[in-house]
Amino acid sequence: MADNRFSFSQDKLKTIAEDILKFARKRGASACEVDVSEGFGQSVTVRRDEVDTIEYNRDKGVGVTIYDGQKRGYASTSDFSKDALKATVDAAVSIARFTAPDPAAGLPDEALLAKESPDFDLYHPWKIPVEEAIEIARRCERAAFAVSPEISNSEGA
């Protein structure tokens, strides 16, 4: 799954998650779940056969759900610095402390948790030039118009 366009290795993302879990324990959380992600891509839209948008994105983020018994708090950040990660945990802890208890809140029993992370082969980068993406979008819109002569406008493809 290595791709030199990513800024962070899988090991670095795991370390970030582990650091958050340790800090959450220190802050008194009874349980914590963490989502750490990074992504990038391009998006092209055409409308009436004309290029409408060309966008490139590079995103990263951390989502932290803290459980204080059956009270839950959530906070997120796109800043991976230690101070920002600690502040995000603190925010989630604070939210949890002021949230009403929910009898259904919490992590599943440990016996129900996955112990292994199989490779589901879900990463299939599609490296195409923007010109090719534009042409694919145009073909998609044309296909929609070809369905019926009653289709005379498009919100884009």
Q: Supply the DSSP symbol for 28.
A: T
Does residue 2 belong to any structural domain of this protein? no
| Total of domains in the chain | 1
Cβ-based neighbours of 19, under 8 Å, separated by 6 or more:
82, 85
Helices (H) and strands (E) in the chain, counts: 3, 3
42-81: pLDDT as tens digits: 999 999 999 999 999 999 999 999 999 999 999 999 999 9
85-140: pLDDT as tens digits: 999 999 999 999 999 999 999 999 989 988 888 999 988 888 899 999 999 999 99
Does residue 54 belong to any structural domain of this protein? yes
Q: What is the C-alpha to C-alpha distance for residues 34 and 17, in angstroms, rounded to an integer? A: 6
Containing domain of residue 45, as a range? 10-101+128-147
**What's the pTM?**
0.77
Does residue 142 belong to any structural domain of this protein? yes
